[in-house]
Structure 1
């Protein structure tokens, strides 16, 4: 069959091209993960909101082979997939992972997973879909006093009032600073995700956003998810303590009103 003389080389070329393309993608991903780890070292870490001090003796996120079972289960909430790399942010409490596509999940994404101090309402926060170039109507939990947040995010969950209390103004502001984030919360665990190929800066922004949420709902004695090199962070925290207390009182009042006015989410 003479046609095999033509088909055979073509198949080999296609296999060679796809293998090379995959190899280049994996090499790029590994470089971005290495850059992200460098950005997360104490010397390179950004200033943290509120001056929360991290472990200045750390060299950055440490690769680990596995995650705690409760954290591993949260990956299914984000879409599952093949876990390509796992990193420890806070021992036994918070981790980061890079996930690739598999037979069931076609997306590559990065995720920060953390344990919460208390049980939380089940909820999902995702960017409000764009239909025909316009934002779709927001049919989720309503935050009528925060129209900017409602223009960017769809919030869904079965208990609108509890969600309204849990998603404080500070958390909503942190999400607005990173509008590509998806947040999943269930019982005493959360996962915050950004979908797409690994990018060091976006991965760093994801951890910063997760840190703001962990600051409100993580264990009180837990360190920051970031690696802060400044030794004066505690002093700054003391200087701002009175002001933070006043802000907290205002926030609590706003959250109660938001919870009272929150309307039911779809599904």
Structure 2
């Protein structure tokens, strides 16, 4: 049939075009991930600059987050809360405690996103925080957990979960400030794990901002003493840290007692009514 002479080449042209688009997208994504890892190296972290430098570096040259094949099971399961999808790559921020996953679309999930998953020190209430939807150019009514003492937060974010009072205590002022500083964030918390995600193609600076937001939340609730998720340049301070470690330990014991009292008082004031 003569029409087959046209359909065959046209189909091949469509496949070639779509394959080319996918290849260009993957190349751009990989380049942005290399740039992000460069931004996360100790020297770049101390400078907080170099946004477009380092594109010529190879993977072997990068001293940033290390690629890994898997994450702990509790953190891997948090990806289902964030939307599922096909995991493209994983990077280690703190061994066994915190990771970055880059997720692409699959048959069930059409979104591409990046997510920081981390272990928590204590069981937390199940909750979801997402940007308050915009309908017809206006913010939708906030029907989630109410933060009457923080109307600015309520104007930006919708908080959902079954235990309003526990959620109010967990979303402390520091956690809410971290989310305000990164208004595109989606936060998922369940038991002893959390995931904070941003949706859309990979962008090096945006991914770095996501890790900074996760670091602030992890500092409040993270497991293992909540070490920094940022790759800071601390080699010059190692000797001083060793000399002062005994004094720091004594101070930490006193500070922990004060912090517990402060957190209890602050938690009572922030409880959701």
Q: Which one has the bigger helix percentage?
A: 2
Cα deviation 1:165-188 (Å, max 9, x = unaligned): 100001100100000000000000
Q: Does residue 110 of structure 2 align to residue 106 of structure 1?
A: yes
C-alpha spacing 1:249/1:227, structure 2 compared with 1 (3 Å): same
Which residue in the other structure is 2:63 paired with? 59
8 Å Cα contact 1:169-1:251 kept in structure 2: no
TM-score of the aligned structures, taking structure 1 as reference length = 0.86
8 Å Cα contact 2:45-2:231 kept in structure 1: yes
Structure with larger RCO (C-alpha < 8 A, sep 6+): 1
Give me the whole-angstrom Cα distance separating, in 2, the residues matched to 1:12 and 1:43: 48
C-alpha spacing 1:130/1:246, structure 2 compared with 1 (3 Å): farther
Give me the whole-angstrom Cα distance separating, in 1, the residues matched to 2:263 and 2:177: 12
TM-score of the aligned structures, taking structure 2 as reference length = 0.84
Deviation at 1:8, TM superposition (A): 1.3
Return 22-31 or 247-256, whichever deviates more. 247-256
* 3-state SS of paired residue (1:43): helix
When the two chains are superposed, the root-mean-square deviation of aligned CA atoms in Å is: 2.6
Give me the whole-angstrom Cα distance separating, in 1, the residues matched to 2:163 and 2:46: 35
Cα deviation 1:197-226 (Å, max 9, x = unaligned): 111111100000000011011135342000
Deviation at 1:255, TM superposition (A): 3.0
C-alpha spacing 1:142/1:47, structure 2 compared with 1 (3 Å): farther
Deviation at 1:63, TM superposition (A): 0.3
* 3-state SS of paired residue (1:201): helix
Alignment of 1:121-160 (within 5 A): 121-160=125-164
Q: Does residue 24 of structure 2 align to residue 20 of structure 1?
A: no
* 3-state SS of paired residue (2:145): coil
Could you list the runs of 5+ residues in structure 1 that have no partner in the other structure?
49-57
8 Å Cα contact 1:47-1:228 kept in structure 2: no
Deviation at 1:249, TM superposition (A): 6.6
* 3-state SS of paired residue (1:45): helix
Give me the whole-angstrom Cα distance separating, in 1, the residues matched to 2:132 and 2:256: 31
Return 94-103 or 213-222, whichever deviates more. 213-222
* 3-state SS of paired residue (1:207): helix
Cα deviation 1:101-159 (Å, max 9, x = unaligned): 00110000000000001100000000000011000011111111111111000000000
Return 241-250 or 118-127, whichever deviates more. 241-250
Cα deviation 1:241-264 (Å, max 9, x = unaligned): 9999999876653431221xx25x
Give me the whole-angstrom Cα distance separating, in 2, the residues matched to 1:20 and 1:93: 38
C-alpha spacing 1:244/1:115, structure 2 compared with 1 (3 Å): closer
Which residue in the other structure is 2:8 paired with? 8
Give me the whole-angstrom Cα distance separating, in 2, the residues matched to 1:47 and 1:190: 29
Which residue in the other structure is 1:162 paired with? 166
How many pairs are equivalent? 248
Q: Does residue 33 of structure 2 align to residue 33 of structure 1?
A: yes
8 Å Cα contact 1:144-1:258 kept in structure 2: no
